[in-house]
Amino acid sequence: MATDDKDLFKKIVSHAKEYGFVFPSSEIYDGLQAVYDYGPYGAELKKNLKDLWWQSMTRLNENVVGLDAAIFMHPLTWKASGHVDSFNDPMIDNKDSKKRYRADNLIEDYAQRLEAEGKADQAKAVLTEMNQLLEAEKLGELRELIVRENITCPISGTANWTEVRQFNLMFSTEVGSVAEDASKIYLRPETAQGIFVNFLSVQKTARMKVPFGIAQIGKAFRNEIVARQFIFRMREFEQMEMQFFVRPGTEMQWYEHWRDVRVRWHKALGIPADNLRIHPHEKLAHYANAALDIEFKFPFGFKEIEGIHSRTDYDLKRHQEFSKKKQNYFDNDLNEEGKPYGNYVPYVVETSVGADRLFLMTLCNAYTEETVGEGDQQKERIYLKLHPALAPVKAAIFPLVKKDGLPEKAMSIFNDLRYDFNIIYEEQQTIGKRYTRQDLIGTPFCIAVDYETLENDTVTIRYRDTMEQKRVPISALREEIGREVSVSNIFKNL
Ligand code: GAP
């Protein structure tokens, strides 16, 4: 990361903490690595993002319905899905610093350094060798590669490494009140399996016909070896996943459809096209016949925010095998020969986006520093340029002064609008400071009540991005705010 970008990211992280968006978890005990809490404005912003995703999936697609499955699932679920045996990361410890690393991350960071030094060919060769060794599970040779390239620990500076071992990322706990009877269960590492095991129940009860989708938002847990970049890689996070069940043989067409829909969605949220890119996977997971990441240009580089995967019939077939319950769907529609498609296990195309990564992308995209004013009056201004439909607070209402009936008038406007929008009333400090505070949390409108309001029932409305002020009748506020903060502004760009 270049120094400027590093500084920018640091500023965004401290902004998030200082203005009530994201706090380190249990901070009074010095925090818990890779776990974070969302503060008052962060919780609103994250909820707005989740609501928007949910509404786009379930309202804008008549063939997608929702689900809210439990975090705990029968332990066989994770045997069937392959997570017990192969949801691993290769880890390595430095004997001097006692620090643990993901072996692949160490090598990738090294390759990045080579590239920065203009040794792109060498970087490529190292990465190819690493991928081949990972694929073949040759962990001894992976260690040899690290030693041969003299990759050292960033803390101790030595190459005194342990063996490379596989580390399963699932958290486990025990269910049952009597120790002897307790059995081991897992905290789900992805929400998708809750959808797979409910596939037939949803299909039957919601009377869905293939192709159809099931959408879900929920917590997932991974014991990440290295937690990096704030809320980018967490141990407890939230996923928004949609499994789309299709006829075998049509999966590539649906894979391309959902890829395009999801890229459009991110753009409609205000992410510039140049800051998004698609990264097709070269190495496919055992269950996939196509996969790609949608990446966003964070200050620390292009990184994945969402995965689109064509998962074939792998998951449903594995659950069929382990549960001994048929997962077939009878398709009555007629094919080109005029015969019913008949009985089959559907193929699945998945869209999977992390709510926390989406939040981080939104925050990075919104954080704006600019110089305003002229000459001596010039000053730096920081604000969050959030889409009004996503902003945690839609409007703030201020009486100009705390006397002469202005607070009462402002309060009556607040009481009139509070049921329609998340708004706040503020009367402390100068009006300039109150504007600045709202800019910092991304409030799109500030409404000031002054002496003229008492005479003619008009207020000034100040727009966050332009700082322009306009006089409007109180009776026009609901429409003025409502028009701008409506999610339909996003939906119509989809
Ligand atoms: N069901 C497929 C699946 O889980 P994934 O690529 O492992 O695929 C999907 O995860 C998305 O979940 C990622 O694109 C990312 O947004 C989010 N995600 C994964 N691990 C995460 C972590 N440790 N912290 C935050 N978000 C994470």
More confident residue, 340 or 206: 206
pLDDT at residue number 183? 86
pLDDT at residue number 176? 82
Q: Give strand pairing partners of 161.
A: 94
Please tell me the distance between residue 354's alpha carbon and the centre of ligand 1 in angstroms.
6
pLDDT at residue number 181? 66
Candidate of 36, 222, 237 to mutate for ligand 1, largest count of ligand atoms within 8 Å of Cβ: 237
Q: pLDDT of 38-90, one tens digit each? A: 999 999 999 999 999 999 999 999 999 999 999 999 999 999 999 999 899 99
Q: Which residues line ligand 1 (CB under 6 A)?
A: 190, 192, 222, 224, 233-234, 237, 239, 241, 304-307, 350, 352-354, 356-357
pLDDT at residue number 493? 85
Given pLDDT bands bounded at 50, 70 and 90, which one contains residue 225? confident
Given pLDDT bands bounded at 50, 70 and 90, which one contains residue 195? very high
CA distance 434 to 398: 8
Range list of H helices, 92-198: 103-116, 120-135, 139-148, 192-197
Q: Give strand pairing partners of 423.
A: 395
Write the residue with the smallest CA distance to atom 22 of ligand 1: 233
Please tell me the distance between residue 305's alpha carbon and the centre of ligand 1 in angstroms.
8
Please tell me the distance between residue 448's alpha carbon and the centre of ligand 1 in angstroms.
43
Residue showing tokens 């800051």: 275
Contacts of 154 (CB under 8 A, 6+ apart): none
State phi, psi for 158 to the nearest 5 degrees.
Answer: -105, 165
Please tell me the distance between residue 192's alpha carbon and the centre of ligand 1 in angstroms.
11
3-state SS class at 47: helix
Range list of H helices, 19-102: 40-58, 75-80, 83-86
Mean per-residue pLDDT for 9-33?
A: 96
Write the residue with the smallest CA distance to atom 12 of ligand 1: 354
CA distance 225 to 209: 41
Structure-block tokens of residue 66: 């929702």
Percentage of the chain beyond pLDDT 70 is 98
pLDDT at residue number 179? 67
3-state SS class at 366: helix
Given pLDDT bands bounded at 50, 70 and 90, which one contains residue 135? confident
Please tell me the distance between residue 239's alpha carbon and the centre of ligand 1 in angstroms.
7
**Lowest mean pLDDT, pick from 239-248, 373-382, 459-468:** 373-382
Given pLDDT bands bounded at 50, 70 and 90, which one contains residue 308? very high
3-state SS class at 414: helix
Write the residue with the smallest CA distance to atom 20 of ligand 1: 233
Hey, how many other C-beta atoms are within 10 angstroms of the C-beta on 238?
Answer: 20
Write the residue with the smallest CA distance to atom 21 of ligand 1: 233
Is the bond into 211 cis (omega within 30 degrees of 0)? yes
Please name which of 349, 352, 321 lies closest in space to residue 247, comparing C-alpha atoms: 349
Mean per-residue pLDDT for 317-344?
A: 94
Ligand 1 atom nearest to 309, measured from its CA: 2
pLDDT at residue number 326? 97
Contacts of 88 (CB under 8 A, 6+ apart): 166, 167, 168, 169
CA distance 61 to 40: 31
Range list of H helices, 271-424: 314-323, 355-366, 406-417
pLDDT at residue number 455? 97
DSSP 378-411: -EEEEEE---TTT-S--EEEEESSSSTTHHHHHH
The CA distances from residue 360 to 45, 108, 139, 238, 389, in Å, are 11, 23, 34, 13, 17
Whole-number average pLDDT of the chain: 95
Candidate of 304, 314, 351, 359 to mutate for ligand 1, largest count of ligand atoms within 8 Å of Cβ: 304
Hey, how many other C-beta atoms are within 10 angstroms of the C-beta on 79?
Answer: 13
Structure-block tokens of residue 262: 């999801």
Please tell me the distance between residue 329's alpha carbon and the centre of ligand 1 in angstroms.
29
Structure-block tokens of residue 312: 């074939």
Hey, how many other C-beta atoms are within 10 angstroms of the C-beta on 407?
Answer: 18
Please name which of 10, 57, 7 lies closest in space to residue 216, comparing C-alpha atoms: 57
Ligand 1 atom nearest to 293, measured from its CA: 14
Please tell me the distance between residue 240's alpha carbon and the centre of ligand 1 in angstroms.
9
Ligand 1 atom nearest to 224, measured from its CA: 23
Ligand 1 atom nearest to 239, measured from its CA: 12
State phi, psi for 272 to the nearest 5 degrees.
Answer: -65, 145
Residue showing tokens 């006829």: 247
Q: pLDDT of 433-454, one tens digit each? A: 999 999 999 999 999 999 999 9
Write the residue with the smallest CA distance to atom 26 of ligand 1: 354
Structure-block tokens of residue 169: 């990322």
CA distance 353 to 306: 4
Please name which of 4, 53, 99, 395 lies closest in space to residue 240, comparing C-alpha atoms: 53
Please tell me the distance between residue 118's alpha carbon and the centre of ligand 1 in angstroms.
32
pLDDT at residue number 1? 64
Ligand 1 atom nearest to 357, measured from its CA: 16
Write the residue with the smallest CA distance to atom 19 of ligand 1: 354
Please name which of 75, 68, 42 lies closest in space to residue 172, comparing C-alpha atoms: 75
Ligand 1 atom nearest to 192, measured from its CA: 1
Q: Give strand pairing partners of 310.
A: 290, 349
Cα atoms found within 13 Å of the Cα of residue 369, Cβ hemisphere only: 8
CA distance 188 to 237: 11
Judge whether 381 and 370 are in contact, CB under 8 Å. Answer: yes
Please tell me the distance between residue 50's alpha carbon and the centre of ligand 1 in angstroms.
15
Write the residue with the smallest CA distance to atom 7 of ligand 1: 190
Structure-block tokens of residue 280: 């097709």
Ligand 1 atom nearest to 222, measured from its CA: 23
Candidate of 195, 255, 265, 352 to mutate for ligand 1, largest count of ligand atoms within 8 Å of Cβ: 352
